[in-house]
Amino acid sequence: MEFYNQAARAIDRVNNKHGSLKSIVFNLAANSNTKNKQPQAGSSASSIKARQVSDGKRLLRVVAETLRYRQVIESILSVVDVLRLESKVFGSSSKSSKGASSKQNERWQHPSAHSLVLILIHDHLFSSRGIALSKIHKIRAAIERHSSALKAELSRLMVRQAVSRVSDLADSFQRGTDSVDEDSGGTNLNSPRWMRVNTIKWSVDQAKGWFIDAGWTQVSSLEALTNQTSDSPDQLLVFAEDEHVTGLLALPSAVVLAKLAPYVDGRLIAQDKASCMPAQLLLGDHPHNPPIEVIDATAAPGNKTTMLSSIVGPRGKVWAFEKDKQRFKVLTEMIKLAGCTNVRCINGDFLAVNHDDERFKDVSCILVDPSCSGSGISNRLDHLSQTDSQKKRDENRIQSLSRFQTTIVSHALRFPSVHQVAYSTCSIWVCCISSMYLSAYQQLFT
């Protein structure tokens, strides 16, 4: 249990801006060894240091992964309030341990109940080993009493966020919400929560009117929003309209999506700004006349597909490809939630489609958003806990992804009526950007 207490203390100290994530974790691990482990006879300074580093790495992995999934867990807790339901077990539900004790005892004070629950729910939902406590331990039992509700809310959240993998869910939250700065410590509240108005169901003016009627205030710019939310994000109801993407609204990062009715019913779609760019650049932001047909080559989970659908309008058509059955299910659920009647979903591999297939003779634009390394996502924390072997596997994966990206872009460029292809990636690697373009060009024209 002490390991979980240490992990929760680390999160408390991150919240209270007591240093960088790494320094907090390794200081806690070192002091834990000093306090709890008497050196054995003959133990060398190097062996003690090695043990501290090993303990620190283990603690860092758990804390970094919990922070990576933090907003997902917070959203689940807003519906399944474990702290309230199990108040006899966890006691205070305070989110912070500020001022709880003197500096002398700070390292050993009881962690906040909220941080402890974050760690435990992370292990229960997202770790293959589960909660590393005895089955009869009261803390583990308290979490597992709500296992069905927690997992059900996780599943609902994946549908609402239009993702089929848990790792994608974490990334979707990280791209548009608060993050931990590993160098300076603390929480960065300057990244807004992006919500796109689904113009299939209502207009941008109607959306802004809904927020205003609900007591929200529209501010003039993104800068004004982030300046106001940095002090008390839980209490301010403010939003801003993005200046580049039509119908994209910025909300405070601390907003609880489950409490927004338009998000629940599909009138608002959680989609970060970068994800909106490919469709906007490919098609603009107004229905085309005459109507056009578009292919979304790798459509799941469906955010970009629904945006394409809203732009081409009811007289246009979007062909959405997804070969994985589970991801295809998520795609179709998202299309249904968004009310897209002009989308034709195909459970098949886009690469297997013949360029001369009559169904696609009128397709003039293709959006290609293949799997990538995700290296350009600014808020990712998983690199903190990677081993050398994992980094090597990542290098091999990046090369494999680059080859796939080249193949799919080359395939898209060969459709006879296509005059525009948009390729998007959140990778920063040259092999996935400029080198990929060069390879695709060579395949097409040599």
Binding residues for S-adenosyl-L-methionine: 322, 349, 369
Exposure class string for 302-341: b at 16+ Cβ within 10 A, else e: bbbbbbbbbbbbeebbbbbbbeeeebbebbbbbbebbebe
Cβ within 8 Å of residue 67, ≥6 positions away: 11, 14, 21, 180, 381
Q: Annotated binding site, which residues?
A: 322, 349, 369
DSSP label at residue 103: T
Phi, then psi, of 261 in degrees rounded to 5: -55, -40
Beta 187-188 vs 179-180: how paired, if at all?
Answer: antiparallel
Residue 396's identity, in one-letter code, is N
Q: How far apart are CA 34 and CA 421, in angstroms?
A: 60
Task: Give the long-range contacts of residues 120-126, CB within 8 A, separation 24 or more.
Answer: 120/4, 121/73, 121/76, 121/77, 121/82, 121/150, 122/62, 122/65, 122/66, 122/69, 122/73, 123/62, 124/150, 125/69, 125/73, 125/76, 125/150, 125/151, 125/154, 125/166, 126/65, 126/69, 126/166
Token output for 284: 């603009």
Residue 67 φ/ψ region, left for φ over 0, alpha for ψ in the -120 to 50 degree band, beta for the rest: alpha
Residue 185 φ/ψ region, left for φ over 0, alpha for ψ in the -120 to 50 degree band, beta for the rest: left
Q: How far apart are CA 380 and CA 179, in angstroms?
A: 8
Catalytic residues: 426
DSSP label at residue 159: H
C-alpha distances in Å from residue 286, one per residue of 100, 196, 269, 367? 55, 15, 18, 17
Three-state DSSP class for 420?
Answer: strand
Phi, then psi, of 92 in degrees rounded to 5: -60, 140
Any idea which residue has 């002490």 for tokens? Answer: 2
Q: How far apart are CA 429 and CA 433, in angstroms?
A: 7
